Amino acid sequence: MRSLQSALEESARQGVPQAQYNLLFLVYSRWVAGEQVTEQEVADALAKVQIGTFRGQLAFKMGYIYSLLREHVLQVTDGPTLEGYRLAAGYGNADAAYRYVVGVLQHRSEQVAADPELRRYLKKLVNTLSGRSSQLMALRGVLWKTGFFEGTPQARAYYGQLYKRVSELMGARAAGNQVAAARSVTKLDRDAERLIQVQHLISVTIAVDYEFVCQQ
């Protein structure tokens, strides 16, 4: 294992993206498995990663584990941590999007309030990827209820409730709980009908990728 890690470290130092990923994934796998991983080991592995050079599936995975290790082992939610989540989210990683949006709202609230472009980007992430994550769908509901999205107070409340119901349905189906899923569908139909009446809509459509949720 150590000889493999040494070889990966050498390739990572030479700037090989796949080697950087493999090295970090080796440390990440040990951490997930519950093995003892020191902060220094993680810091050394992270220091060999050039996060901005990753694209595609490598970025989808790399940005995510890079930031998970920074946040949960090194206990830092700073610019590089958020950037890793943002990178992974940009390639469709819904859990990374959830962590990025929550992190930005918690640690950069003043910037969010002053920067309309950032608010638009956060809304785009939530709207685009919430169908892949019950957590992100639930966050979408919270953001509606708290006024992050525009609308009348009544409309925001109904949208918030609707997305909460969808989140519950996604969670139930991912867990294989058919009884809870059926109960959620009944509540969802009721809340959707209320929203249609309040907003004078013809119908309500929310795209949900259940297969992706189950795979996660």
The reported pLDDT for the residue numbered 210 is 45
Residue 85 neighbours by CB under 8 Å, 6+ apart: 63, 64, 67, 96, 97, 99, 100, 103
Q: Inform me whether the pLDDT recorded for 11 exceeds 80.
A: no
H/E element, 38: none
Q: Inform me whether the pLDDT recorded for 207 exceeds 90.
A: no
- List pLDDT tens digits, range 93-144: 999 999 999 999 999 999 999 999 999 999 999 999 998 999 999 999 999 9
The reported pLDDT for the residue numbered 7 is 55
- List pLDDT tens digits, range 193-202: 888 888 888 8
**Residue of 47 and 8 predicted with greater confidence:** 47
Residue 168 neighbours by CB under 8 Å, 6+ apart: 134, 180, 184, 187
Mean pLDDT (the chain, rounded) = 86
